Amino acid sequence: MQEELKFLPVNRADMASRGWDAPDFVYVTGDAYVDHPSFGVSIISRVLEDAGYRVAILSQPDYKTADAFREFGRPKLGFLVTAGNIDSMVAHYTVSKKKRTYDYYSACGKMGNRPDRATVVYCNRIREAYGDVPIIIGGLEASLRRFAHYDYWDDKVRRSILVDSRADILTYGMGENILLRIAELLDRGVPVKKIRDVRGTVYLAKPEDKIHFEVAAEFDYNDLKTDKKKYAEAFGVQYKNQDAITGRAIVEHYDGKVLVQNPPMPPLERDELDRVYALPYARTWHPVYAKDGGVPGIEEVQFSITHNRGCFGACNFCALAFHQGRTVRSRSIESCVAEAEKIVAQPSFKGYIHDVGGPTANFRGPACDKQLTSGVCTGRKCLAPTPCKNLKVDHREYIELLKAIESVKGVKKVFIRSGIRFDYLLADPDKTFFRKLVADHVSGQLKVAPEHCAARVLDHMGKPHFEVYERFRRDYFKETARIGKEQYLVPYLMSSHPGSTLEDAIELAVCLKRDGYAPEQVQDFYPTPGTASTVMYYTGINPLSGKRVHVTTDYHEKQLQRALLQYNRPENAPLVREALRLCGRDDLIGTGKDCLVRPEGHRGDSAPRGRSTAPHSPRNGKGTRPSAAPSKGRSSGKPTDGRAPTHKKKTASQGKKPQTGGRKDRHR
């Protein structure tokens, strides 16, 4: 019983053991209960507990009736609701809309413990159970669906999730201070319908009601669901108003109701982040899951440290800019060292810190001093297509942080497995971090994300051009050779992103053939809510520039693009030949060393030998990674990029961990 008291109550008996007659908040989540600071429910519940509120956790309740939602009785202040660490539709379906067979955030990876569109279903059951009880929704699913949004699974523009869920308030972004303010007002007796001036919230009002902040623009759902140009325009306004300094309110009209998004809540500063991560997390799953072998989602983060939040990389296919924001904040070195000491004390720790990272590992602060007083620029990105002249590039504090964690007694090695922005790294004239990264923090393979090689596609992705990656790769292998190590790069690649044509996919296949890289897995573009790339996919318009974009929506063409990126696989040969002939590239069909595929009827369907798919070592200057060593794929959970939990191998389409466009710490 003492062990379980580390956790917040998960049932009525737990609550009674604490002497509570009722909780202040019941926190409903679509994930299994893992009390670790990489899980949003854990952070928010511990922050509220630290402020003196009683929080009970209702994890993966039976959603078929309202009975499970009565477990703790009516809470004194209200219900908090989240679908979990990722969007429930992404958790359930692959990019080809097939059912997944494994849920990383459920005990034993079991599917079926949460419904589709979990936030909406949970809220409707709560209304059924308690009528007008206050309901506050948050988490990634609510945050990225807060406006009218294109829904890939329904293939239409759905209403704001606040409208469909019938909740009272939606919180978006990182929610510690938002929830503390709401809790304070509710505790003072302010009716939930009167809470209208809290930053980082969305609410529904009457047309005549006062709006407390300056309004940037107003849109009507009836226009947005039918007019793609208007929809792209609306997203452009939303994107430009996600900064806490410059952001203004945004209004959407829904048949007599007015949806208002207040400006964002300012990000937590260093001392605030330190307090959040110092709270008494149990740092594992609740003992109730022991009989099922635990919750696999903990495995990739249990021995990792999140040192930052936000990302000024602002890739168009990533939801971080819309959720955590483009302003970076980080924890103190002392705070991270204290967490490392807690990790070392865990019985299962073997001496290896798996990651010291975040959305982007090598960011420690704002991109420039201007962001501190004037906010982020709305008209350009900090890094792409080229770094801004005002960009502050400095890895010194990150180096100091890594060295401090390395010095903790019991730590044998510290790895960096979050995404490294190689363009930011190259912009640093001081190569100390580059050398330290290669020498001390790569576990044989460094994961990086060039995504494509065609400049046109990279521009639509908001990524640097390929020559930047080529320079990084050259310098990386030069450094590995200098220190006498054999290490590889695992480049992430994406097929069928808006802007990518069959010709672009062929260009990438030729590039892969030239460089001797045979990817085991390729990420198909997945249109998820809250990204500029998803708007491009739906509208054919880049919402940040207003320009038209070629979009691949045909399933067969997507298959062709994907097959080209894995041209060496015999089963892909017919699709590769079809794509090459469609584009008039018959010259790449043959037995020559530069050909991608052999002709029909030729002995063996795999790619011709020569400069093709053989493994390359770093010593030949081309090597990226041995093609024989399977990739673990792109992770969508925390902390990022690969490292899927160990479990029975799944098929490529159904077992791969869902990608959500964000990276780490996607909590409210």
DSSP assignment of 272-286: HHHHHHTS----EE-
Residue 39 and residue 128 in one domain: yes
Could you give the CA distance from residue 570 to residue 603 in angstroms, rounded to a whole number?
Answer: 11
Whether residue 221 has pLDDT greater than 90: yes
Cis preceding linkage at 639, omega within 30: yes
CA distance 264 to 647: 39
Q: Structurally, how many domains does the chain consist of?
A: 2
Q: Is the pLDDT of residue 643 over 60?
A: no
Q: Range of 19's domain?
A: 4-203
Q: Do 284 and 139 reside in the same domain of the chain?
A: no
Please tell me whether residues 278 and 412 are part of one structural domain: yes
CB 491 within 8 Å of CB 624: yes
Is the Cα torsion angle 453, 456, 462, 466 positive or negative in sign?
positive
- Cα–Cα distance, 137 to 133 (Å, whole number): 13
Cβ neighbourhood burial of 615 (10 Å; 0-12, 13-18, 19+):
middle
Distance, CA of 425 to CA of 403 (rounded, Å): 18
Q: Label residue 657 by pLDDT band (50, 70, 90).
A: low
How do residues 164-206 score in pLDDT, each as one tens digit?
999 999 999 999 999 999 999 999 999 999 999 999 999 999 9
Of the candidates 605, 620, 635, which is a domain's last residue?
620
Q: Do 198 and 313 share a domain, yes or no?
A: no
| C-alpha–C-alpha distance, residues 284 and 286, integer Å | 7
> Does any domain span residue 477?
yes
Domain match, 196 and 74 both: yes
Provide the CA 219 distance to its chain's centre, in angstroms.
28
- pLDDT confidence of 4, banded at 50, 70, 90? very low
- Which residues lie below 8 Å from residue 112, measured CB to CB, with a gap of 6+? none
Asked if 414 and 289 sit in the same domain, the reply is: yes
Q: 30-67, pLDDT tens digit by residue? A: 999 999 999 999 999 999 999 999 999 999 999 999 99
**Count of Cβ atoms closer than 10 Å to residue 380 Cβ:** 13
Q: Is residue 449 part of a domain?
A: yes
pLDDT at 615 over 70: no
> For residue 440, which phi and psi values (nearest 5 degrees)?
-120, -20
Distance CA 541, CA 228 (A): 8
State the CB neighbour count (10 A cutoff) for residue 70: 17
Look at residue 106 in the predicted model and tell me its pLDDT: 97
Q: What is the pLDDT of residues 129-147, one digit of tens each?
A: 999 999 999 999 999 999 9
> pLDDT per residue over 84-100, tens digit each?
999 999 999 999 999 99
Looking at the fold, whether 485 and 382 belong to one and the same domain comes out as yes
Residue at 199 is within a domain: yes
Q: Is the pLDDT of residue 454 over 80?
A: yes
* 511 domain residue, yes or no: yes
Report whether 136 contacts 79 (CB < 8 A). yes
pLDDT of residue 662: 39
Output the CA torsion sign for 228, 229, 234, 240: positive
Does residue 646 fall inside a structural domain?
A: no
As a whole number of angstroms, the distance between CA 531 and CA 311 comes to: 14
CA dist 351 and 113 (Å) reads 34
Chain Cα centroid distance, residue 292: 27
pLDDT of residue 624: 43
Q: Mark whether 458 and 605 lie in a shared domain.
A: yes
Q: Residue 344 burial by CB count (10 A; 0-12/13-18/19+): exposed, middle or buried?
A: middle
Beta-bridged to residue 489, according to DSSP, are 446
Percentage of the chain exceeding pLDDT 90 = 86
In a domain, 256, yes or no: no
Query: Is 192 domain-assigned?
Result: yes
Tell whether 166 and 295 lie within a shared domain. Answer: no
Token pair listed for 435: 């050398």
Q: Containing H/E element for 435? A: helix 432-440
- pLDDT for the residue 638: 33
The Cα–Cα gap between 41 and 34 comes to: 8
Where is the domain boundary, 179, 203, 227?
A: 203
CATH of the domain at 73: 3.40.50.280
Which H, E and C letters describe 354-416, residue by residue? CEEECCCCCCCCCCCCHHHHHCCCCCCCCCCCCCCCCCCCCCHHHHHHHHHHHCCCCCCEECC
Instruction: Clarify whether residues 454 and 569 are in a common domain.
Output: yes
Per-residue pLDDT band at 602 (split at 50, 70, 90): confident
Q: What is the pLDDT of residues 541-576, one digit of tens each?
A: 999 999 999 999 999 999 999 999 999 999 999 999
pLDDT in tens, 504-513: 999 999 999 9
Please check whether residue 446 lies inside any domain of the structure. yes
Of 153, 171, 203, which closes a domain? Answer: 203
Domain shared by 16 and 162, yes or no? yes
Q: How far apart are the first and last CA of the chain?
A: 30
Separation of alpha carbons 317 and 422, rounded Å: 18
Separation CA 547–CA 423 (nearest Å): 26
| Rounded Cα distance, 48 and 8, in Å | 11
Same domain, 46 and 148: yes
Banded pLDDT at 637 (limits 50, 70, 90): very low
